[in-house]
Amino acid sequence: MKKIVTLLSVLLIAATPFAAQATPDDDLKAFRAYFTKKFPDVPVNDFINGVYAVDPASREQWEQFEEFPSYQIAIDNGEEKFNKKFANGKSYADCFPNYKKGIKQNYPYFDTDKGEVVTLEGAINKCRTDNGEKPLKWQKGEITEIGAYLAYLSRGHKINVKVPNDAKAIAAYNRGKKHFYSKRGQLNMACADCHYYYSGSRIRADILSPALGHTSGFPVYRNKWAGMGTLHRRYGGCNKQVRAKPFKPQSDEYKALEYFETYMGNGLEINGPSQRK
């Protein structure tokens, strides 16, 4: 019986998209190969446009929105708030000295000294609290405007997230990978069910977007929200849709998921902020 169980375990591991022993680089190559094979007519970098890369009708509508993008006001507001001085006379520029050259492509990163994943939103709020200011709310509002401005300055830069040779960093990456493929909620669905296995398929009136390049366009203006939102706001909404209790924004769970998903987009260009349905 023990031998049978062991054999079944081996077969199950082999059947998953990425074996547990695979390195992040192995995962990245396999992830990209899967989507380029599934959507052979889509240029690799066009995956940053989500569903608009794989559905011509949706793309036509999206291109019309892009003529006068709803996120433009967020960029303008974000620039103003980014340059506004804190009470102590400093500003965000003191925390992000290279912001004009583009910095979003390097987030999230793993801080080996603190042993944690650092997201751009986390860095924005740390900048505030380090300078005696109150932190911003995580999912919408001012933090999305500042994020939109920084994303805009980073457009065209290629995502360059690293997983250092550090046990805690690798554990965080694998935690995000596990979350992506794990079933949850009353509907017993994983992120991968919608955005990997059935990407490009219809779910009611909507088409499921490919996961490749998912994080490149955030923060996003969603028509459904009638406003801007962060990636973690979207994660929470997805969990609710499968009737699972969402994790808190900037929880270790969502930060790990963002770490994994963004790493899977390495080499693709930043396209934020963006507009989605």
Render pLDDT for 116-153 as a digit per residue (tens, 0 to 9). Answer: 999 999 999 999 999 999 999 999 999 999 999 999 99
Task: Give the catalytic positions in this structure.
Answer: 238
The CATH code of the domain that includes 183 is 1.10.760.10
At residue 5, the pLDDT reads 34
Let me know if 111 is exposed, middle or buried by CB neighbors in 10 A (0-12, 13-18, 19+).
Answer: middle
Residue 168 pLDDT > 70 = yes
3 within domain boundaries: no
Work out the average pLDDT over 232-252.
96
For tokens 């965000």, what's the residue? 92
13 within domain boundaries: no
Non-local (6+) Cβ contacts of 61 within 8 A are: none
Residue 109 pLDDT > 70 = yes
Residue 20 pLDDT > 60 = no
Say if CB 26 and CB 17 are below 8 A apart. Answer: no
Measuring CA to CA, how many Å separate 206 from each of 168, 180, 276? 38, 20, 12
Q: What is the mean pLDDT of the chain?
A: 92
Structure confidence at residue 2 as a pLDDT band (50, 70, 90)? very low
Q: Total structural domains in the chain?
A: 1
- Count the neighbouring beta carbons within 10 Å of the beta carbon of residue 219: 30
For tokens 């609290």, what's the residue? 129
Work out the average pLDDT over 73-94.
97
Backbone angles phi, psi at 184, to 5 degrees: -160, 165
At residue 19, the pLDDT reads 53
5 within domain boundaries: no
- Count the neighbouring beta carbons within 10 Å of the beta carbon of residue 6: 10
Q: What range defines the domain where residue 93 resides?
A: 20-277
Helix (H) / strand (E) containing 9: helix 2-15
Non-local (6+) Cβ contacts of 23 within 8 A are: none
4 within domain boundaries: no
Structure confidence at residue 9 as a pLDDT band (50, 70, 90)? very low
Longest dimension (CA), the chain: 70
Sheet holding 274-276, edge to edge: 227-229, 220-222, 274-276
126 within domain boundaries: yes
Within 68-189, residue ranges assigned H as helices are: 72-83, 92-95, 120-130, 142-153, 167-181
Measuring CA to CA, how many Å separate 254 from each of 110, 121, 182? 14, 12, 13
Work out the average pLDDT over 90-101.
97
Structure confidence at residue 1 as a pLDDT band (50, 70, 90)? very low
Say if CB 184 and CB 239 are below 8 A apart. Answer: yes
Say if CB 177 and CB 191 are below 8 A apart. Answer: no
- pTM, whole model, 2 decimals? 0.91
At residue 3, the pLDDT reads 41
276 within domain boundaries: yes
Tell me how far apart the alpha carbons of residues 30 and 198 are, in angstroms, rounded to a whole number.
17
- Torsion over CA of 91, 95, 100 and 101, rounded to 10 degrees? 180
Whether the bond between 108 and the residue before it is cis, its omega within 30 degrees of 0, is yes
What DSSP character marks residue 195? I
Tell me how far apart the alpha carbons of residues 148 and 163 are, in angstroms, rounded to a whole number.
25
10 within domain boundaries: no
- Count the neighbouring beta carbons within 10 Å of the beta carbon of residue 66: 14
- For helices 167-181 and 252-263, the axis angle rounded to 10 degrees is 90
11 within domain boundaries: no
Whether the bond between 249 and the residue before it is cis, its omega within 30 degrees of 0, is no
Render pLDDT for 187-236 as a digit per residue (tens, 0 to 9). Answer: 999 999 999 999 999 988 889 999 999 999 999 999 999 999 999 999 99
